[in-house]
A = this chain, B = another copy of it.
């Protein structure tokens, strides 16, 4: 019995067509759909008891799933694309993520042809398991501060890998603690007492026969992390080296070589290649953000339609929570954000191809812009997603606090994205540096390109005034884009002007960093808004699909305009009256989206398995399922709890004085 069928009937667009738009293409949709269903229909991949498992059981179960997934991938002869999707839908962080996502790419990107030929076949068959050991106990964001050393020994033609201090212990690498046999270790290369900077080395950690750590290696798990289940399925590790020797050939030498004589020589491979990888990783993070946010929004939207509270008239049913404007005002902008991040992620995918092609042609001209743009979008989308998941949890009221809602685990497993691959505030400061540099070059005739090209119209943007006069005027893409461009330009220029008053620019940058971060956010929001609008310039087939996306695009933009109205007003881009009109328009957009809300989250095509949420189940049969799930908690194994005889009974019987506690 589908409790939400009435809601589904209300939709004014074709959900199947929207599913294709969301997936990016019919091909993407079909592969995803097939892999999602393969996982969902196989009991071996069940995850509904995950949040109740103690650490050891949990980890052992992950090892089982990872092995089983690999077995199925081999049996079904899945393509690389399919295999990667299958792992994605297993939806459980595991050592294989790092093996495939970091270890293999590191060898591909930084290893010589010879090294690739040696190591990749082993890795592809999983005859070895690898991880990526960069961060240290005392060193996260600042890679140049790493302390682990790799000292070249002329006599033996080896590197000696060593952890000279406690803070140099490798700390955090996923898969390192218990599963990996090998690691790409980042260490400070030292030849003839000369510090040659940080480089990667392939180090075997464990014996391939009995999995015991090799001599000189101390390795273990770093302990429990945030949340039930969540990242505790992963063996994030600690690793110390006591003068561990590896052959010289184990240094990844695509860019820098160390010869038998210990001399360092640069290859002609451009160092900028590393930026291609960075763009790739960040576009993947943005895609993940839209997916994670879509899961939370799907759960909260469905449950908001099921849940009723207050407003009963004449003994009738109470009001569906989704009909309250306060609920819509918190939920629908997140729904719109999920779509917005999806499309900006799609565009980043294009950017990756573009950057790669240019790098191959030795064209480095777009790199600074691509770097700033991906850094900013990684920061913006992950922050908004982490906050959005928690907001969705709150929108589910008390029941959102139950693990069976799926939201606590989704939050706990997602939040590290705000910190890894560049702390979100550090990244925004990098964007700000790029903005300030761009402003400083505006007079020089150097034209800003790509996402920053709007600054080429700085004169117009510094003095333009929005001409919106009625609420509907805010539906015009040109009105929105100009307001966002003017705001971003003016905030950057204002920062640049303030900076110019400092005699020491670095001191000025440090002093004004909070303002600079705000300017960076304004620039990044503009990118997301613009890319959404550009998407809508494309032909989008399907009954009513484009209309829905237009409404969501407007909600995304006008919600930001309201939330950040301080920026728009302080810079004089819009008047208080215009801000108020935008808000009026936003309210009426909510009414427009309301009947389509359930269909808009159905378009994500999430299986009940993938969602892992009783509140978000497709059929909306929330209460019977919550009730049944409760009884599966280990605490309900017995009616009288463990500990009754030792602790409750002596309390009630006033016999505590003699009880052993």
Residues of A within 8 A of B (CB): 44, 51-57, 59-60, 63-64, 66-68, 70-71, 74-75, 125-129, 135, 137-142, 145, 166-167, 169, 172, 177-179, 181, 208, 210-213, 219-228, 231, 235, 238, 308-310, 312, 318, 324-326, 329-330, 390, 393-394, 397-398, 400-404, 408, 412, 415-416, 418-420, 423-425, 429, 510-515, 517, 562-572, 576, 579-580, 583, 587, 623-624, 626-627, 629-637, 639-644, 646-652, 654, 656-657, 659, 661
Contact = CB atoms under 8 A, between A and B. Distances in A.
Main secondary structure of the interface of A (DSSP, over half): helix
Nearest to A51: B224
20 contacts: A52-B54, A52-B224, A56-B635, A59-B635, A64-B661, A67-B646, A71-B657, A71-B661, A128-B652, A138-B308, A138-B623, A139-B309, A141-B397, A166-B627, A169-B627, A225-B408, A227-B408, A227-B412, A566-B579, A570-B580
The winner among A169, A220, A226, A576 for most chain B CB atoms within 10 A is: A226
A178 B649 CA distance: 12
A9 B394 CA distance: 43
A144 to B, nearest CB: 8
Q: Which 7 pairs of residues, A with B, have the shortest CB-CB distance?
A: A566-B566, A54-B54, A565-B566, A226-B408, A60-B643, A329-B514, A63-B647
A172 B226 contact: no
A642 B408 contact: no
A235 B166 CA distance: 41
A494 to B, nearest CB: 8
Given A70-B656, A71-B657, A643-B60, A416 B398 contact: yes
B403 A325 contact: no
Nearest to A509: B325
A167 B140 CA distance: 49
B661 A223 contact: no
Contact of A71 (B425, B514, B568, B659): B659
Nearest to A213: B639
How many copies of this chain sit in the oligomeric assembly? 2
B67 A656 contact: yes
A259 B580 CA distance: 58
Given A59-B641, A212-B640, 9 more contacts: A67-B650, A140-B309, A179-B641, A220-B635, A222-B633, A225-B403, A325-B514, A565-B570, A566-B579
Contact of A167 (B166, B178, B623): B623
A571 B579 CA distance: 11
Contacts of A210: 640
Contacts of A172: 398
Contacts of A238: 627, 630
Contact of A514 (B326, B418, B648): B326
The winner among A56, A142, A330, A400 for most chain B CB atoms within 10 A is: A56
Contact of A570 (B166, B235, B513, B579): B579
A309 B142 CA distance: 6
Contact of A223 (B225, B226, B412, B632): B632
A324 B211 contact: no
Contacts of A412: 227, 408
Contacts of A393: 226
B651 A309 contact: no
Nearest to A237: B630
Contact of A401 (B129, B208, B415, B634): B415
A578 to B, nearest CB: 10
A656 B71 contact: yes
A212 B626 contact: no
Contacts of A129: 648, 651-652
A55 B633 contact: yes
A577 to B, nearest CB: 9
Contacts of A639: 212-213, 219-220
B576 A572 contact: yes
A103 to B, nearest CB: 14
A575 to B, nearest CB: 9
A519 to B, nearest CB: 13
Nearest to A424: B394
A650 B66 CA distance: 12
A425 B395 CA distance: 10
A137 B626 contact: yes
A652 B404 CA distance: 35
Contacts of A580: 570
The winner among A125, A310, A404, A656 for most chain B CB atoms within 10 A is: A656
A629 B212 contact: no
